[in-house]
Structure 1
Amino acid sequence: MLTRTDAHVTTWVIAILLFILALFLHRAGKEKAFKTVQMVLRLFYILVIVTGALLFFHNQRLDPALYGLKLLGGILVIGMMEMITLRLSKRKSTGILWVLLIIFFAAVLYLGLRLPMGWHPFY
C-alpha cells in the first residue's frame, strides 16, 4: 500500500507540467505534438487517480469525510483539465472551465495540506 505522498505528489506535479506544455503547444499551433502530450497527460491522469485512491483507502480512517471530499475534488480537477484540453483541440471556448479548474484545484490543494498526511502551514 501507499503510505507516503511522494508518488502521488510527483504524478500530479508532472500532470500539471504536461497540462501547461499542452497549452503552450496548442497556442503555438503544433497540433501533432499537442495530441502526443495530451495522450501522455491522460496516462498521468490515471497514475494520479491510482496513487490518490491508494492513499485514500489507506488513510480514510483518519478523517473519512475530508479525504472523501479531496478524492472527489481531485477527480473534478482532472475532469476540468481534460475538458479544457479537449475543448481546445475542438476550438471551443473554455472560460467557465478555467474558473472551475482554479476553484477545484484551490480546494483540493487546501484539503491536501490540511489533512493529517499533508504539510501543515495552516495550524
Structure 2
Amino acid sequence: MDSAIFTNTHLHITTWVIGIILFFVAVSLIKGGNEKGSKIVQMILRLFYLLILFSGIMLFIKFHEINDMLYGMKMLFGIIVIGLMEMVLARAKKGKSTGMFFTIFVIVFLIVLYLGFKLPIGLGFFA
C-alpha cells in the first residue's frame, strides 16, 4: 500500500475540511428546525468520519516513526474532535445547550490543527 494517496496529506485534509463544513451545515439545519435535512447531512458526515479516520490511520501507519508521540497525540485528539462533533449535534438535536461542548470542540480542533501543521508531513506553518 505505498500508493501516492497515502504518502501525502491531500486526501486527509480534503476529508476533514468537508467534514467540518458538513458539521456546520448540520448544526444550522438542526437549529433551523429542518429535521429531515439535518438527518441526511449527519449520515453523510458520519461517512466522512470514516474517511477521515481511514486516511488518518493510513498516514499514521506510514509516518509515525518520525515522532510516535506527537503523531499519536494528533490521532487521539482527532478522534476526540469527532466525538465532540457528535456530542454537539446530539445535544443540539435534543434542544440542550451546546456552548460548553462547542467551546471544547474549538479548542481541541485548534490543537489538532497545530499538531498537523507542525509535524513533518504537515504544511510547515509552525515548523
Distance of 1:88 and 1:39 partners within structure 2: 16
**TM (normalized to structure 2)?**
0.93
Distance of 1:100 and 1:29 partners within structure 2: 24
Q: What residue number does 2:111 align with?
A: 107
- Count of aligned positions: 123
1:85 corresponds to 2:85 = no
Q: Which amino acid aligns with 2:13?
A: V
Where in structure 2 are there 5+ consecutive unaligned residues? none
Deviations 1:45-76 (Å, cap 9, x if unpaired)? 11101100100011000010000000000000
Q: Stretches of 4+ moved more than 3 A in 1?
A: none
Where in structure 1 are there 5+ consecutive unaligned residues? none
Percent identity over the alignment is 49
Q: What residue number does 1:39 align with?
A: 43
Q: What residue number does 1:13 align with?
A: 17
User: How much is the aligned-residue C-alpha RMSD, in angstroms?
Assistant: 0.9
SS in 2 for 1:21: helix
Q: Which amino acid aligns with 1:99?
A: T
Q: Which amino acid aligns with 2:123?
A: W
The alpha-carbon deviation at position 122 of structure 1 amounts to: 2.1
